[in-house]
Structures are given as structure tokens and as C-alpha cells.
Amino acid sequence: MTDTLNIANPYVRRARLQPAMIVALPIALATLAWKPTGIAGWSVFWSLFVWCGGTALLAQVARDRGKRKEPDLYRSWGGKPTTRFLRHRDAPNKTVLGRRHQKLQRIVTGIQIPTIEEERENPVKADDAYDACTAFLLEKTRDKKRFSLVFEENCNYGFRRNLWGLKPLGITTSVVGTAAAAAVIVFNHQSGITTAPLAIICAVINILLLIGWLVWFTPNWVRIPAEAYAERLLAACENL
């Protein structure tokens, strides 16, 4: 995975910046519900925000939150997906596993792929060997054009992991945004003012985001692209 701060980098935009922007969206919608005529001023604010490095900061916050909580995901899954898929005891397809072990043994120098007996006797040492193979594949598949499927799944996993890492903050902004947008509707009703459709739309979107944070954005939701990424990364050894 890339660690660059370049916002033009597609991984940074998709896996780091977009989750942070989703977290900030409820506040922006609430502001829009209260002051829809201030849309023109947003372009000036956004330009200043970008110029001051705000987007880079958001991307880093999303990355840090995701990486900090990643070990919790791995523990709940029984290990890193790549490690599990290389284990004799966990691999979903033993025939594919045998072929990949043979290929990795040829291309990864200095690493002895454990046998099923060796893995059973010392699972920690075996996992270290599998992690070393994964690190090798990560370095060899950084070419986005040659390994486009690996890169695509990496972005998908990074997006969901970082979004899940931001869940506490996302719930907070969604609650605040929903309450603020609803307050506009209540205030207009009590004042005898017809509420603009825009305010209602903003409230509905914030409610849907809150439901998403509470119900949809879960470790199981993150696990789907994590395992897809692991599968694509390990399959790449066939092209090395």
C-alpha cells in the first residue's frame, strides 16, 4: 500500500480522502439545510481548505484510524487474510494452495514454505514465513497497470477499512447533522414557513448515513474486499 500524501494518487483519494469526506458530509448537509443560499461561498472555502492542506490532513486522519484498528480486524478474522489463505489448515482450496506454495518457494529466496506438519508443530513460525511471502508479493505488485486487479481490490479494502476506522466519528457527525437538519424543519413548521425540499433531502441523507454507520459499516463488511484483495495478491504470484 502506498503511503504518499499526493491527493492526485488514486489510492489516496479513494481509500483515504473519500472516507474522511463521507464523515464530514453530514455537517456540510446540515449547513446547507440552514443556509442554502450560501452555496456560492463553499467554492471559496473549499479552495482555501485545499490550499492549507486540509485534504491531506483528512486523508491522514482516515489512514491513521484505519491502520490503528486493523489489528482488531485481523484478530476477529483469525489472522490476516493473506496469511490464512496460505495456511494449510485454513486455505479454501488445497490444490490451489499447493500450487501457490510451490511457486512462492521458487520465487521467494531465503524462505522455506512450511509443510503441514511444520505448520502444526509451530504455527507462529509458519505464519512468519507466510507474512514474508506476502511482503514479497506486495513489493512485486506495485505496478498499477500490470497488476490492476490487485490495485483495485487494495483500494476497495482500504476504503472500507478506513471508513470503518472512522465509525465513532461518523456516527457523531451523522447524529449532529441529522439533528441540525431536523431542527430546520421543526423551526420552519413552528414559524409557519414552508420548508424547502433541499432541507428535507439533507435530513433524509443524514438519516441514511446514520443507519449505514450503525448497521452496514461493520467488520464483516470490511472482510469482503479484504479477502478479495488477499486472493488477487496471492494469485499474482502466477505472473512473477
Decide if 12 contacts 158 (C-beta within 8 A). Answer: no
pLDDT at 4: 46
Q: Where are the domains of the chain?
A: 10-33+53-239
Alpha carbon distance 55, 61 (integer Å): 10
pLDDT at 59: 79
pLDDT at 2: 43
- pTM, to two decimals: 0.86
pLDDT at 105: 94
pLDDT at 103: 94
Length of the chain in terms of residues written: 240
Per-residue confidence in pLDDT tens, the chain, 240 aa = 444 456 678 888 888 888 988 998 898 888 888 877 655 555 555 555 555 556 677 778 888 888 999 999 999 999 999 999 999 998 888 899 999 999 999 999 889 999 999 999 999 999 999 999 999 999 999 999 999 999 999 999 999 999 999 999 999 999 999 999 899 888 877 877 777 788 888 899 999 999 999 999 999 999 999 999 999 999 999 888
Q: Find the radius of gyration of the CA atoms of the chain.
A: 23
Alpha carbon distance 155, 230 (integer Å): 12
Decide if 157 contacts 228 (C-beta within 8 A). Answer: yes
pLDDT at 190: 80
pLDDT at 1: 42
Question: Residue 229's closest CA among 137, 157, 131?
Answer: 157
- Residue 139 phi/psi, 5-degree rounding, is -70, -35
Decide if 25 contacts 71 (C-beta within 8 A). Answer: no
pLDDT at 193: 74
Decide if 201 contacts 30 (C-beta within 8 A). Answer: no
Alpha carbon distance 61, 24 (integer Å): 12
Residue where the block lists cell 465513532: 168
pLDDT at 74: 94
Distances (CA, A) of 121 to 76, 112, 127, 220: 23, 15, 12, 30
